[in-house]
Chains A and B, each alone.
Chain A
Amino acid sequence: MSYSTFNRKHFDSMKEPMFFGENVNVARYDQQKHPIFEKLIEKQLSFFWRPEEVDLSTDRKDFQRLEEHEQHIFLSNLKYQTLLDSVQGRSPNVALLPIVSLPELETWIETWSFSETIHSRSYTHIIRNIVNDPTKIFDDIVTNEEITKRADSVSIYYDRLIEMVNLYNTMGMGTFNVPGKGDIEISMPKLKKALYLTIASVNVLEAIRFYVSFACSFAFAERTLMEGNAKIIKLIARDEALHLTGTQHMLNLMASGKDDPEMAEIAAECQNEVRQIFIEAAEQEKEWATYLFKDGSMIGLNAQILGQYVEYITNVRMQAVGLETCFATKHNPIPWINAWLVSDNVQVAPQEAEISSYLVGQTDNNLDDSDFDDFDL
């Protein structure tokens, strides 16, 4: 079955599954099989922000005053985040658009991926502000072994799915010999399994991997350092919260069988593999924490505490997709992080109040005192 950018068949898109049904033809949103994706689109659009609106002028001075091992922590995180958003800015589109079958989900995927490009642009904004030669930092992302290890684990499921869908679209079903890779079997169950595992690994990427960097960014900000960066990370974290809800919905809808009965069987079949994806990612992130703090810790955060946070947040995320939790850490070792992760708007109640401040002109880089109420290290 080859992909068509405008499927000429007549069919009822309300009866299609999320993926591997008909290619979408008319982009219509007056009716939705899964209204949640339409709501996610609206929410994401209401979050729109531009990195340049956040003033980073004091971050430059702060950065110069950081100790060397703190600069290592800060820059390594930034590199890792740049890697993750480079992947996320394209992969949902490349991997999922050729196989999606619902207009509202198709548009959610595009909206989601677009917002990742804003995140990528914000890293350039941050890096430009703190160093004279951004190239050195960007180049290291493809050469630094600790980072490239991460790249392998975040892209492997996407790449496998893309490869299989390419084969499916050009050759159809069957077993095909791909030079350098051997025999690859293409069948609907195999494709669906590759998809399910991909969505799980994306959920892990957005719901666990990112939070390690978030914790470090906010630990600096707790010491009133790199506060412009923290403002940007806050906006990114708000977007990521929505993205992880998107993948949780996909996973839960698939597992429930409400969308595609065959998908429910596959979800049940690979429950163990999915658990393993969560556990492995948590272990990799703990390793990463060790790398971050190899030359010294920072006030309020060290490899051990960050490792516990990884375990805790992994438990939270596993529970959210109906998996049994697997780590002993039942309490958040850095509860102050939540006060940073929360969107400011809830503190003033009506949601429009804050969002408009991001749209109109520059956000003030000076956090006011009330931002620091109620938590300490």
Chain B
Amino acid sequence: MDQNGVFANLIKQLTKLPGVGQKTAQRHAFAILKMFPQEAREIGQAIIDIKERLIFCSKCRNISEVELCLICSDPRRDRTKILVVEEPSTVYAIEKTGEYRGLYHVLLGVISPLDGVSPEDIHIKELIDRLADHEVKEVIVATSPNMDGETTALYLSKTIRPLGVKVTRIALGIPVGIDIEYADEVSLVRSIEGRREL
């Protein structure tokens, strides 16, 4: 097959996606080849659309098609709570559960002293600005339970607490569904620290 031809190029482009190796890309490319032209065009257009029509919400930095995202502009959401996440994908995952009714703030990154990322490099100032109207009573930090996520949580706590806003951290510990004897020592300690009354 022509290695520089259009078919080889499609395979090459598809392998850029996560979880897609050479074999899978080949299968996808043949599947696209068999489609009606309109179907294939829709896939292409959908990819172009998310790059051209999605922006970051001016308030919470979540991905949005409009200046103020659907969550920020929804009058039924609880405006006293802001849940802080690293990436829009976490908002997506939490929204799918339907269990959280407050607002979000997406940092679009995480403080990383070992990787040279400081508080000014991510959207922390925008979060502090949102607390100025005193409507928010609680900031829930839902960054990853690793050192960078913890560093970010500790920084947010020491910056926001003096403003009189409660800062909470999501519970860390043992994943649901595993046997407790397989949990490692750090997770065990964290889960004891984060225990709650029954």
Task: Tell whether A and B belong to one assembly.
Answer: no
> Chain B: residues with CB nearer than 8 A to chain A?
none
Taking Cβ atoms with an 8 Å cutoff, the residues of A that contact B are none
